[in-house]
Amino acid sequence: MDADSNLTGSSNNTEVIRHGAAERSRRRGLTIVYTGNGKGKTTAAIGLVVRAAGNRMRVFFLQFIKGQWKSGEREILRGLPGVDLEVTGRGFTIDRLRDPRIPMDEHAAAAAAGWQRAKQVVRSGMYDMVVLDEILGAVRAELVPLGELLELVRTKPEHLHLVLTGRNAPPALIDASDLVSEVLPIKHPFERGIKAQRGVEF
């Protein structure tokens, strides 16, 4: 994909949806964090994407870490009017989930490229909502500098809703955010040996 293809007014959808300057000037853009060890952080962010798209807002969904495996949400998000989606990760980086065939330098290169893309998209001012899915995993793996993420939060366009997901949100990010929700693991089918289910996990 052309690095600037979604920042020139084009879209993968048949209709490019824009909100006027008057509407944006009235909006108070929020920084929203979904964190915690439980399942549902990405799911919550996708719910916001759908809600925003339903309000004729323009959304960019950028996914770190999780790699190129096929998932149901990517298929549907790519078809939503006004929603652009990119995947930059090479897969999970924690030891128990990481593919040993993918060296860490490839994860680092993918995260660096994704982070540059994220900054470009946020600062373009063309979107009403930007989701950086699993960005906190990239921060925890020291693939994205926390200081740079905090600077992006401080300097984002005033109209932009910025949504960040992942485990272990740092205290400094919690302090800088407007809304923080923690997803806690109470019970999970994996504990009973039930494998990931299509339509629920992917």
Chain-centroid distance of CA 174 in Å reads: 17
SS3 42: helix
What pLDDT, on a 0 to 100 scale, did the predictor assign at position 69?
63
Nearest residue to 178 via CA among 52, 29, 43, 2: 29
Secondary element (H or E) of residue 67: none
Work out the average pLDDT over 13-42. 78
Contact 122, 156 (CB under 8 A): yes
Decide if domain 21-184 falls under CATH 3.40.50.300: yes
pLDDT average, residue stretch 14-24: 56
pTM: 0.81
DSSP, collapsed to helix, strand or coil, labels residue 87 as strand
Q: Domain-by-domain residue ranges, the chain? A: 21-184
pLDDT of 189: 80
Residue 2: pLDDT above 90? no
